[in-house]
Every structure is written in C-alpha cells, then in structure tokens.
C-alpha cells in the first residue's frame, strides 16, 4: 500500500508538470497584450522595457522555467517564512499579478476563506442530506419515497446553478426579503447576531451548491446500497436474528460506504470548479470569481497559477480517493 502511494505520488509530478506546460502554452497563444492599456504617447522602447519588466520579453520556455521556479521553489519559501518568521525568500521574485501588481499567492490566500466557507459548508450539507436519502430509497426500493427521491435527484442534476441561483434570489430576497441577495465578504462574525447574519447570507449559495451535490451523492449511495442489500451476508445477518436497523445501518451501510467515500473525495475539486458560477451569481469573492476577473483582465500569471491550483486539487483528490479505496476495502490490493 505504501509503495503504491509513493509510486502514485511520484507519478503525479510529471502529470502536473505536463498540465502546467499545456496551460502555459495555451496562454502563450493569448491574443491580449498586457501593454494594451498603456497610453499611445508612451514611446515604443519604453513599452518594450515595461514588457520585459513584466517578464514577457523572453522566449516562452524561459518564461515557463521561471514560473516553475517561482511556484515550486520560491513560494514554499514564502510559506515557510510566513509560518516560522524566517527570511529564506527575501529579495526573491514571486509570481506577480499583472492586474494588481501584488503577489498572486497573497491574493489567492485572501480569497480562499470565502470559497471554503461557502463550498465547504455546501459539501457537508450535501453529504448530510444525500446519505440518508440514498440509504432509505435503496431500503424501500420503488416505494413512493424512492420515486420522489429519484425525481428530486434528477431535477438536481438537470437544473443548472445559473438558473437556481437567480430563482432563489427572486423568491427569497426580492419577494420574501428573507435573505440578502449579495454575499457580504467584509462581514465579521464576532457575536451571535453577526453569526446569524452570516448564516443568512450563506443559506442561498450553499443551497444551490448542495442541491447538485445531493443529487450526485444520493444516487451513488442508493446504487451502492442496492448492490449490497442483495448479498448473501445480509441474509446471514438477518438469519442470525439481528435487528433490521443493525443489519442495514451496520452491516450493509459500512460496505456500501466504500465506493461512496471515494466519490465524495473525487467530487471535491469539481465543486471548486462548479463554484465559479455560484460565486458569480451571489457575488461571493472567492477563487472562482477571482479566476473570472483575472481572465477578463488578461492577467496571465494569475490565470496560470489559479488554473494550476485547480489541477493540483484534482490530481491530489484523485490520489486520495484511490488510496482511501485501498484502505477501506481489504479486497483491493494494488501491489
């Protein structure tokens, strides 16, 4: 198991390098010019100097190498400095956003809490709703509850977040006036009243995201429970005279959770991607919204680094899912 994990970990390095190379080369083709906003009165040789100062003057491969060094060598040093108060990174060039002229990672770190609050809570809520629905629908297959559950999950699959979002805003903030339509990221939680306000503004984005997560997970849970409910060991457990709740919630559930746990792990990075739309609808200034802003502002270092972070998340959670699967299911042997 350990050798497998190490092998996968080593394999993920070339994968990530390749992905970052592809993204970088895509960005090289970008038609936008970082100097487009500079006034026409600025002479061309000054413009050339400015371009070199941004790091655009050099050949693409050199730029790529410098980006790699900045992300994999200098940024970890900055992180260590921030944690232990050392000064490894002093005077070294970090990845600088063209739009704000400040380090990209600093901006990303400012934005991550907002995304985590909304996306993380939505994921937990989604799991908490999905699992009981999946378990009960499988236990009472083809019952009214199961039919209704299947219908609701189908709807959750089919209604895109850019429709549910505006719909919720119209109903709950315009007509009923219960929740604010815009997520206020400057809101500070320091007492019960402000916590209540924070929860109120979180409800709608969380519900939009949780609907999709619930739809996906409850179907997996139901299918996995159905696979296990027909197994022989279930009959044995019933024949021993175990109570129905023990049979379903201990014997069957534990075995059915194995694939579901890996699906949960696999879904985490895609939720970050899907949150781009939800963040945009509710004006949450998380990393999804940041990506859009940078993309429209033609901020190549920012877009590059952020897309790479998404890729790292996907590769990392794929790895976690595979390892979890091996750990949870003793029948799976990788080596």
Partner 1 sequence: MTETIAPIEALKDKGPDKPPRSRWKDVWDQFTKHKGAMFGLGFLIFITLAVLIGPLLWSVEPQKIDIRNKNMRPIYTAIWDADAKVGWEKPLGSDQLGRDQLAQILSGGRASMAVGWAAMVLSLLIGTAIGVAAGYYKKLDGLLMRTTDLFLALPVLPLLLLAVTLFRQPLTTAFGPEGGMFILIVSIISVTSWMPTARIVRGDVLAIKEREFVLAARSIGTLPGKIIGRHLLPNVLSPILVSAALGLATAIITESALSFLGVGFPSDFPTWGKMLADAVVRMEEYPERVLLPGIAISLTVLSVNYLGDGLRDALDPRIRGR
Contact (CB, 8 A) for 226 and 141: yes
Q: If binding is defined by CB under 8 A, does position 268 make contact with partner 1?
A: no
Write down the H helix ranges in the chain: 2-28, 44-54, 60-69, 75-84, 104-115, 121-139, 144-158, 161-168, 192-229, 232-239, 244-246, 253-282, 287-296, 300-328
333: left (phi over 0), alpha (psi -120 to 50) or beta: beta
Give me the 2-41 binding string for partner 1, x by CB under 8 A, dash otherwise: -------------x--xx--xx--xx-xxx----------
Structure tokens at 246: 């023990």
Contact (CB, 8 A) for 20 and 305: no
**Given the complex with partner 1, which of 36 and 193 has the nearer CB atom?**
36
**Given the complex with partner 1, which of 126 and 269 has the nearer CB atom?**
269
* Cα-based distances in Å from 232 to 148, 246, 261: 29, 16, 23
Among 273, 283, 332, 334, binds partner 1 (CB under 8 A): 273
Q: If binding is defined by CB under 8 A, does position 307 make contact with partner 1?
A: yes
In the bound complex, what is the minimum distance in angstroms from residue 32's beta carbon to partner 1?
8
**Given the complex with partner 1, which of 15 and 110 has the nearer CB atom?**
15
In the bound complex, what is the minimum distance in angstroms from residue 321's beta carbon to partner 1?
12
Q: 19-50 burial string, b = 16+ CB within 10 Å, else e?
A: bbeebbeebeeeeeebeeeeeeeeeeeeeeee
Window 127 to 166, contacts with partner 1 (CB under 8 A): 154-155, 157-160, 162-163, 166
Residues whose CB falls within 8 Å of the CB of residue 333, separated by 6 or more in sequence, listed in order: 326
Give me the 220-259 binding string for partner 1, x by CB under 8 A, dash otherwise: ----------------------------------------
Q: If binding is defined by CB under 8 A, does position 303 make contact with partner 1?
A: yes
Query: Among candidates 220, 206, 194, which has minimal Cα distance to 130?
Result: 220
306: left (phi over 0), alpha (psi -120 to 50) or beta: alpha
**Given the complex with partner 1, which of 57 and 273 has the nearer CB atom?**
273
Among 9, 148, 167, 327, binds partner 1 (CB under 8 A): 167
In a 13 Å sphere around the CA of 266, the CA atoms on its Cβ side amount to 14
In the bound complex, what is the minimum distance in angstroms from residue 125's beta carbon to partner 1?
22
In the bound complex, what is the minimum distance in angstroms from residue 69's beta carbon to partner 1?
23
In the bound complex, what is the minimum distance in angstroms from residue 161's beta carbon to partner 1?
8
In the bound complex, what is the minimum distance in angstroms from residue 159's beta carbon to partner 1?
4
CA angle (271, 205, 100) in 5-degree steps: 75
In the bound complex, what is the minimum distance in angstroms from residue 77's beta carbon to partner 1?
26
**Given the complex with partner 1, which of 163 and 233 has the nearer CB atom?**
163
In the bound complex, what is the minimum distance in angstroms from residue 23's beta carbon to partner 1?
7
Among 134, 267, 269, 301, binds partner 1 (CB under 8 A): 269
**Given the complex with partner 1, which of 19 and 80 has the nearer CB atom?**
19
What is the rounded radius of gyration, in angstroms, for the C-alpha atoms of the chain? 25
Residues whose CB falls within 8 Å of the CB of residue 250, separated by 6 or more in sequence, listed in order: none
In a 13 Å sphere around the CA of 71, the CA atoms on its Cβ side amount to 19
Among 82, 170, 182, 199, binds partner 1 (CB under 8 A): 170
Return residues touching partner 1 (CB under 8 A): 15, 18-19, 22-23, 26-27, 29-31, 154-155, 157-160, 162-163, 166-167, 169-170, 174, 269, 273-274, 276-277, 280, 291-292, 295-296, 303, 306-307, 310-311, 313-315, 318
């Amino acid at each position: 198991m350990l050798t497998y994990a190490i092998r996968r970990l080593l394999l993920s390095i070339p994968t990530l390098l390749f992905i970052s190379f592809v993204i970088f080369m895509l960005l090289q083709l970008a038609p936008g010019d970082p100097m487009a906003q500079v006034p026409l009165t600025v002479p061309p040789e000054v413009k050339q100097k400015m371009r070199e100062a941004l790091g655009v003057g050099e050949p693409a491969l050199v730029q790529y190498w410098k980006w790699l060094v900045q992300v994999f060598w200098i940024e970890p040093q900055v992180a260590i400095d921030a944690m232990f108060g050392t000064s490894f990174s002093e005077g070294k060039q970090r990845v600088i956003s063209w739009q704000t002229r400040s380090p990209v990672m600093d901006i990303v770190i400012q934005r991550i809490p907002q995304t985590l609050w909304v996306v993380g809570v939505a994921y937990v809520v989604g799991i908490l709703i999905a699992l009981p629905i999946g378990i009960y629908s499988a236990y009472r297959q083809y019952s009214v509850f199961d039919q209704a559950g299947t219908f609701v999950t189908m709807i959750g699959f089919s209604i895109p977040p850019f429709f549910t979002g505006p719909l919720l805003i119209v109903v709950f903030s315009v007509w009923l006036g219960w929740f604010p339509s815009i997520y206020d990221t400057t809101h500070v939680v320091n007492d019960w009243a402000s916590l209540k306000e924070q929860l109120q503004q979180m409800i709608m984005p969380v519900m939009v995201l949780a609907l999709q997560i619930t739809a996906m997970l409850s179907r997996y849970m139901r299918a996995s429970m159905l696979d296990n409910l027909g197994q022989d060991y279930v009959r044995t457990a019933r024949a021993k005279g175990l109570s129905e709740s023990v049979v379903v919630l201990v014997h069957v559930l534990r075995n059915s959770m194995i694939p579901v746990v890996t699906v949960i792990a696999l879904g985490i990075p895609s939720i970050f991607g899907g949150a781009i739309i939800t963040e945009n609808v509710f004006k949450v200034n998380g990393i999804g919204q940041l990506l859009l802003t940078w993309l429209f502002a033609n901020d190549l270092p920012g877009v590059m680094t952020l897309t790479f972070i998404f890729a790292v998340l996907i590769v990392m959670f794929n790895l976690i899912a595979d390892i979890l699967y091996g750990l949870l299911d003793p029948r799976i042997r990788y080596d």
